[in-house]
Amino acid sequence: MFSISTDRETREGIISLKKPLNYERKKTYTLHIEGMNTKVDPHFSFLGSFKDTATLKITVGDVDEAPIFSMDYYILDVYENSPSGTEVGTVTARDPDSRNSPVRYYLDSKEDEERFFRIDESSGVIRTTQSLDREVTAWHNITVMASEVDNPSLLRHVPVTVQVLDMNDNPPEVPTDEEVIVCENSRPDQVIQTVTAVDKDDFANGQRFTFALPSQLPVNPNFTLKDNGDSSASIIARRRRYNHMSQELYELPIVVWDGGEPSLSGTSTLTLRVCPCQRHGKIRICQGEAFLSSAGLSTGALIAILLCIIILLAIVVLFITLRRSKKEPLIIAEEDIRENVVTYDDEGGGEEDTEAFDIIALRNPTAAEELKFRRDIRPEARSLCGLPHIHRSPVVELDEVDMQKFIRQRLVEADMDTSVPPYDSLQTYAYEGQGSSTGSISPLDSLGAQSEQEYNYLSDWGMEFQRLAELYEEAESESDVTT
């Protein structure tokens, strides 16, 4: 409990504590202390041993301490579904001081927020405040605090664990998450599937299960159930062959009992799906068949729909490819330089075919001028002088018109016109007609030279052509003089 050491400077003995003192356990201590010289001169050894002893009595003073619990850790238990106010257990604490002050008990509110328990301040009895459910929370951890009535500032804590004991309050059930598959080629007395049960209660109450079909329902003509005696059951077919086209889904209710006290039972309904199966019971596309039947489509209809979708996709891809190919340049690389031949796919109609090519696209809109007049009309005729309007003859005689000047004027206009075609074209100023007995008057069809032409015969055609003959004779005479 104590230790002593020598001070190097003062050579005094210093007594120290090695363990805490407890007044309630021991109030006084008696120590025997011995002092001696560390270096003794042998010349004075005859004088004695050069050491001495003394007795020291130590008294422990009383200090006010916090209460002390009888145990460092408490484990209590209570059955689930117990009514509110059921006693869980008792914790005890006492004042270690000589006064033996009374103790008060509290629960730490931070740990027990939902208030499942309460404690009596004077006795330390812990009770429930509501019914407990083991399947929700099987263990509860709380903290109990104790303080003296005379000095509440001195507190002591102790952890308390409450275990909720199980009661058989949950019926067993068969899992229905997965569907049971029935092959179409199943035979009578063939095991379809083995099922088990689950129970939320403790293993002691749910370790054994018993299975059967509901007795209040009529006998199932399609399936039966066999209890295997090992907490499992087998679903067995009762007839030969099943057809998923006629009936795909079957429902099978199963009743299961547990081995608890008292025994509880539950009813679960399994869904059995009929599917085509391969050999050795391997399932073949059950989900696809179920989708087709639920949608009302057969396999042939689904294949036709898929083919249509594939064809449409192919057409769309081909259309996009053609559009992209048209946008590619004719010259793919700089080294690949070739002539670009543009084909208009128009044969043409000869020299007078002016409709084969749309010349408007080659005209400059800003430089284009409006057509001043038509070129296939004849000069305007003047009224005959001195004759009343009512006495005109059917054959109108033209006044003297300078035809050569007229033609030259049209020629100059054609040469100055910026909207004319970029190639030679024949300007037609009159239409001769068909079936004339006089033949063509076009100079292109004349066999002789221009100087050999005679125009006297034009006078025989009437007064309209007499002036034309005079004009041609004047033009001819002027050309001879020039020559």
pLDDT at residue 275, rounded to an integer? 86
* pLDDT exceeds cutoff 90 at 87: yes
Among 141-150, 227-236, 441-450, 472-481, the minimum mean pLDDT is found in 441-450
- CATH 2.60.40.60 matches 68-165: yes
Q: Is 458 helix (H, G, I), strand (E, B) or coil?
A: helix
Radius of gyration of the chain (CA): 65
pLDDT digits (tens, 9 = 90+) for 110-136: 766 678 999 999 999 999 999 999 988
Q: How confident is the model at residue 455 (pLDDT cuts 50, 70, 90)?
A: low
Q: Give the number of other Cβ atoms within 10 Å of residue 49's Cβ.
A: 9
Is the separation of the CB atoms in 96 and 26 below 8 Å? Answer: no
In the chain, the amino acid numbered 42 is P
Surface-to-core class of residue 162, CB atoms within 10 Å of its CB (0-12 exposed, 13-18 middle, 19+ buried): buried
pLDDT digits (tens, 9 = 90+) for 265-300: 899 999 998 888 765 555 544 644 444 444 555 667
Please tell me whether the overall predicted TM-score, pTM, comes out greater than 0.95 for this model: no
pLDDT at residue 160, rounded to an integer? 94
**Integer CA distances (angstroms), 7 to 14, 34, 206, 283, in order:** 7, 15, 75, 94
Q: Distance between CA 382 and CA 398 in Å, rounded?
A: 6
pLDDT at residue 373, rounded to an integer? 46
Q: Do domains 68-165 and 180-295 have the same CATH topology?
A: yes
Q: Which of 264, 265, 289, 261 is nearest to 275 (CA)?
A: 289
Q: Which two tokens stand for residue 161?
A: 């664990």
Name, in order, each residue with C-beta under 8 angstroms of 413's C-beta and a sequence gap of 6 or more: 372
Q: Which two tokens stand for residue 151?
A: 């000095």
Per-residue b or e along 110-145, where b marks 16 or more CB atoms closer than 10 Å to that residue's CB: eebeeebbbbeeeebebbbeeebebeeeeebebebb
Domain-by-domain residue ranges, the chain?
A: 2-59, 68-165, 180-295, 370-417+450-483
Q: Which two tokens stand for residue 181?
A: 């598959």
Average pLDDT over the chain reads 76
Task: Give me the torsion for CA of 401, 403, 409, 413, rounded to 10°.
Answer: 120
Name, in order, each residue with C-beta under 8 angstroms of 424's C-beta and a sequence gap of 6 or more: none
* pLDDT exceeds cutoff 90 at 79: yes
- Give the CATH number of domain 180-295: 2.60.40.60
pLDDT digits (tens, 9 = 90+) for 343-374: 556 555 555 555 555 555 444 545 444 444 44
pLDDT at residue 452, rounded to an integer? 52
pLDDT at residue 381, rounded to an integer? 46
**Integer CA distances (angstroms), 225 to 184, 214, 221, 253, 404, in order:** 19, 10, 12, 10, 124
Query: From the DSSP assignment, how many helices (H) and strands (E) are in the chain?
Result: 5, 20
* Element containing residue 286 per DSSP (H, E): helix 286-295
Is the separation of the CB atoms in 275 and 185 below 8 Å? Answer: no
Cα 450-380-419 angle, rounded to 5 deg: 75
Residue 173 DSSP code: B
37: phi then psi, degrees, rounded to nearest 5: -80, 140
pLDDT at residue 482, rounded to an integer? 55
**Integer CA distances (angstroms), 231 to 186, 192, 199, 212, 271, in order:** 25, 17, 12, 12, 21
pLDDT digits (tens, 9 = 90+) for 207-239: 688 999 998 888 888 999 999 988 899 999 988
Q: Is 416 helix (H, G, I), strand (E, B) or coil?
A: helix
